[in-house]
Amino acid sequence: MTTQEALFKYTLRLGDNSIILAQRLCEWTSKGPFLEEDLALTNIALDIFGRGKSLLEYAARVENKGRNEDHLAFHRTDRQFTNNLICEQDNGDYAKSMIRQALIDCFDLMLYTELSKSKDETLVGIAAKSIKEITYHKRHSFSWVDRFGNGTEESHERAQKALNELWRFTGEFFEMEEADELLIKEGIAVDVKSFQAKWEEEIKALFLKANLTLPENVFMQTGGRKGIHTEHLAYLLAEMQALPRMYPDAKW
Amino acid sequence: MENKNFEDIFESKLAKNEMIEPKDWMPDNYRKHLLRQISQHAHSEIIGMLPEGNWISRAPSLRAKLVLLAKVQDEGGHGLYLYTAAESLGTSRDEMLNALHTSKAKYSSIFNYPTLSWADIGAVGWLVDGAAIMNQVMLQRTSYGPYARAMVRICKEESFHQRQGYEIMTHMAFGTPEQKEMAQDALNRWWFPTLMMFGPPDIESPNSENAMKWRIKRETNDQLRQRFVNQTVEQVEYLGLTVPDKNLKWNEAKKGYDFSEPDWAEFKNVIKGNGPCNKERLEARNKAHNDGEWVREAATVYGKKQMEEYAAA
Amino acid sequence: MSDSQGPLWEVFVQKKAGQPFVHCGNLHAYDKEMALQNARDLYTRRGEGMSLWVVPTSAIVASSPEDQGSFFEPSNDKVFRHPTFYPMPDVIKHM
């Protein structure tokens, strides 16, 4: 694997994580629990889509085969998407969406903080912008976890159920593969293991404050990096990609 | 005696083009009329999120998705500004939402039409927002302060909406033959419902007279409709599309187009609840509201605890 | 006005450091943190500000229209509070 191939793979994966998560988040737009929150979550979806777009643009440039960000987003199959499984999980109720978001925000903030020290200038630029955005997203999702955990009996129960369901997808955050190893040596990619303990500590503190219990001895799911997803992704893509696939010659 | 005095002050403010503010005395009918109009306007923004939201997950490019998402979010924001303006007249948002969810309150009938293709998203932005903007520009000078201020903010934000709609139409009309067909089809379906947005003809408009007298409205339904047609025909021609009206013709004497009236019987039916999507829109709204109930309860309990701790500290 | 949508709050935005906080609208929120976050998401989507205040509407004390005469008219005749009241010799340029 050349550095260029590794960088394409790496950037594409970061982009996929953003696009798929944002696609899920914007399913909430116009269906939020109240108007102010509808707008808040849409803002977050906008940030994450924006990041995904920049990352896919860069991936296409690195690949240098005449594809652009829209080709990458709309003309790949589920087997070619390499996002973490947690991003594609269905929204469920608002507790599930917020727990999913808190787990990801906490990880992403650490990831992009490290990435802002990369030797790749484009990634540094994207990371610098993302850090500010994710800092806010995390504040938003963390405060909801606290509200649900310390709200009503029902909200506590829903949050605990969501946490139990989603925890098995968190192992994937800290997986690395050949492309990561290669790029870490070059000073481009982030060694996610370097902040795994810190992530666990913050997450523990969050759920402790929210009176929620972290599941123990959970068998972790994997497959995203190999393009082996849960059943959710193919449906998500079928909807997202319908128009460009039906009219491949059209420009929008 | 005292009321008479208040009424004089109210009338003299209107005469001097001054704004009426929430705590000022105002005639009951003025308050009622405003409350009805502002809450209807707010509901329209909120329901209006649905037909466009229908295409967010299927927007055909990442750029288009970002733009549409931002636009639908703006509509929500506009609904929110308007709800707070209406709240200043003494009705809570809960009461207004309840009226919407139980069909007691109305919203713009245009949103009871379906968005069937991506070109509809273009047509909605271009035509529906275009018509709405015409109304809203006028309302920036409406006599009730909070309403006028909300409209100033809304107009500022709204300015990109019509352009993004027209941009979509441009891509479609100058795109592949299938795209052009979709564009014409969207125009055919949205033209007359858009003309209905300005309300019934002046001779049949029951609320217009008071609205003009109180300077809530500053131009009549027919005036606004005529201006809209005059402006839009040129935009249709640029796209190489055809206005679906055989009677459309330039009238040199009035320096404007003659055009067919929309089907007012259809208009009345859609308002009565018989439009293609009335049921779906209300169901979607109710579902979101009901699904969110436990979230609002949790937030209420959490917020009260926080306030108690704050008070105790 | 408190209902199932949470209490009403007033939002003030500061455009630039050093400038006054200006009232820009209202929102509903259930707690302080949420009020602040909602204000950010609702009233600064287009870079309108760099600092925010949120205040529960119930905490606002306002004068009423009936007070207008007694509150504000007495200051109208105190022209001596304004610098233009004092004629200056032409030769004095900066004061």
Q: List, as one string, the DSSP characters of B80-125.
A: HHHHHHHHTTT--HHHHHHHHHTT-S---GGGGS---SHHHHHHII
Min distance A152 CA to chain C CA atoms (Å):
14
Residue B296 touches partner A, C-beta closer than 8 Å: yes
B186: Cβ–Cβ under 8 A, 6 or more apart, which residues? B116, B117, B119, B120, B122, B123, B169, B172
Q: Which residues of B touch A53 (CB under 8 A)?
A: 62-63, 66
Q: How confident is the model at residue B2 (pLDDT cuts 50, 70, 90)?
A: low
Chain A residues 146-165 with a CB less than 8 Å from chain C: 147
B62 to chain A: which residues are within 8 Å by CB?
A: 19, 49, 52-53, 56, 69-70, 73
Window 32-61 of C: residues touching A by CB (8 A cutoff) are 33-34, 37-38, 40-42, 45
The confidence band for B211, taking pLDDT boundaries of 50, 70 and 90, is: confident
Given a cut of 80, is residue A188 above it in pLDDT? Answer: yes
Quick one: pLDDT band at residue B1, thresholds 50, 70, 90? very low
Mean pLDDT of B247-265: 96
Distance CA(B222)–CA(A106), nearest Å, equals: 56
Tell me: the pLDDT tens digits for B88-124? Answer: 999 999 999 999 999 999 999 999 999 999 999 999 9
Cβ of C3 under 8 Å from any chain B Cβ? yes
- Dihedral of alpha carbons A236, A10, A73, C45, sign: positive
Per-residue pLDDT, C1? 43
Q: Is the pLDDT reported for residue A10 higher than 60?
A: yes
What's the average model confidence in pLDDT over A106-128?
A: 98
User: Which 69-88 residues of chain B touch chain A by CB within 8 A?
Assistant: 69-70, 72-73, 76-77, 79-80, 83
In a domain, A24, yes or no: yes
Measure CB to CB from residue B84 to each of C6, C25, C62 and give the nearest one. Answer: C25
Residue at A251 is within a domain: no
Is B308's pLDDT higher than 90?
no
Cβ partners under 8 Å of residue A181, min gap 6: none
**Helix-helix angle B278-291:B93-101, to 10 degrees:** 140
Answer whether 0.90 is exceeded by the pTM. Answer: yes
Q: How far is CA B134 from the centre of its chain?
A: 11
Place A45 in a pLDDT band, splitting at 50, 70 and 90.
very high
- The packing angle between helices B145-173 and B62-87, to 10°, is 160
Q: Which residues contact A5 (CB under 8 A, 6 or more apart)?
A: A179
A66 min Cα distance to partner chain C (Å)? 34
The confidence score (pLDDT) of residue B255 equals: 95
What CATH code is carried by the domain that includes residue A100? Answer: 1.20.1260.10
**Of the candidates A77, A240, A39, A80, which has an alpha carbon nearest to the alpha carbon of residue B65?**
A240
Interface of A with B in 26-65 (CB under 8 A): 26-27, 29-39, 42-43, 45-46, 49-50, 52-53, 56
- Indicate if the pLDDT at residue A190 is higher than 90: yes
In a domain, A252, yes or no: no
- Going by pLDDT thresholds of 50, 70 and 90, the confidence category of residue A249 is very high
Strand partners, B20: B144
Around Cβ C57, how many Cβ atoms within 10 Å? 16
**A89-109, pLDDT tens digit by residue?**
999 999 999 999 999 999 999
Instruction: Give the structural domain span for A154.
Output: 3-212+222-246
Asked if A38's CB is within 8 angstroms of B58's CB, the reply is no
Report yes or no: B151 and B139 within 8 Å, Cβ to Cβ.
Answer: yes
Q: Which residues have CB under 8 Å from B163's CB, separation 6+?
A: B125
Cβ of A94 within 8 Å of Cβ of B62? The answer is no
Asked whether residue A181 is domain-assigned, the answer is yes
Cβ contacts of A36 on chain C, cutoff 8 Å: 27-29, 34, 38, 41-42
Residue C3's identity, in one-letter code, is: D
Q: Estimate the crossing angle of helix B221-239 against helix B145-173, to 10 degrees.
A: 20
Whether the CB-CB separation of C12 and C52 falls below 8 Å is answered with yes
Are C65 and B307 inside 8 Å of each other by CB?
A: no
Q: Pairing between strand C51-56 and B249-251? A: unpaired
Domain contains A47: yes
Res A117: pLDDT: 98
Interface of A with B in 125-154 (CB under 8 A): 146-148, 150-152, 154
User: What is the average pLDDT score of chain B?
Assistant: 93
User: Residue C3: what pLDDT?
Assistant: 67
Mean pLDDT of B168-173: 97
- Is the backbone of residue A250 left (phi > 0), alpha (psi -120 to 50) or beta? beta
Task: Write the pLDDT tens digit of every residue in A67-88.
Answer: 999 999 999 999 999 999 999 9
Q: Nearest by CB to C41, which of A34, A40, A147?
A: A40
For residues A110 and A138, is the Cβ–Cβ distance under 8 A? Answer: no
> pLDDT band at B3, cuts 50/70/90?
low
Residues of chain C with pLDDT under 50: 1-2
CB atoms within 10 A of CB B252: 6
Q: Which residues of B touch A155 (CB under 8 A)?
A: 294-295, 297-298
A241 in a domain, yes or no? yes
- CA-based nearest distance B299→chain C, Å: 6
Q: Which residues of A touch C31 (CB under 8 A)?
A: 147
CB contact under 8 A, B302 and A26: no
**Partner residue facing A251 (CB), from B72, B171, B299:** B171
Instruction: Tell whether A80 is covered by a domain.
Output: yes
User: Residue written as tokens 């329901």?
Assistant: B47
Query: How far is the CA of B122 from the CAs of A75, A170, B129, B135, in angstroms?
Result: 23, 40, 10, 20
Taking residues B282-301, what's their average pLDDT? 97
Query: What's the pLDDT score for residue C71?
Result: 81
How far apart CA C74 and CA A41 sit, in angstroms, is 50
In angstroms, rounded to a whole number, what is the distance separating the alpha carbons of residues A215 and A198? 18
Q: Are C13 and C52 in contact (CB under 8 A)?
A: yes
Residue ranges of the alpha helices (H) in chain B?
2-15, 28-53, 62-87, 93-101, 118-123, 129-139, 145-173, 177-196, 208-213, 221-239, 264-269, 278-291, 293-312
The whole-angstrom distance between A246's CA and the closest CA on chain C is 35
> Any CB–CB contact under 8 A between C17 and chain B?
no
- HSE, CB side, 13 Å, CA atoms: give it for residue B154: 30
Q: CB-based burial of residue A176 (10 Å sphere; 0-12 exposed, 13-18 middle, 19+ buried)? A: middle
- Note which residues in 155-174 of chain B have CB less than 8 A from chain A: 168, 171
- Report which residue type is found at B254: K
3-state helix, strand, coil in chain A (%, to 5): 75, 0, 25
Residue-level length of chain B? 313
Number of structural domains, chain A?
A: 1
Q: Is C27 on the interface with A (CB under 8 A)?
A: yes
Has residue A217 been placed in a domain? Answer: no
Per-residue confidence (pLDDT) for residue C66, from 0 to 100: 74
Q: What is the pLDDT of residue A41?
A: 97
pLDDT tens digits, one per residue of A207-217: 999 999 999 99
Q: Is C19 within 8 Å of chain A by CB?
A: no
- Whether residue C28 and residue A35 make contact (CB cut-off 8 A), yes or no, is yes
The yes-or-no verdict on residue A189 having pLDDT over 70 is yes
Residue of A nearest to B167 (CA): A252
Give the chain C residue whose CA is nearest to the CA of B305.
C31
Q: Is C46 on the interface with B (CB under 8 A)?
A: yes
**List of chain B residues whose C-beta atoms are within 8 Å of the C-beta of residue C8:** 84, 87
**Residue of chain A minimizing CA distance to C26:** A36
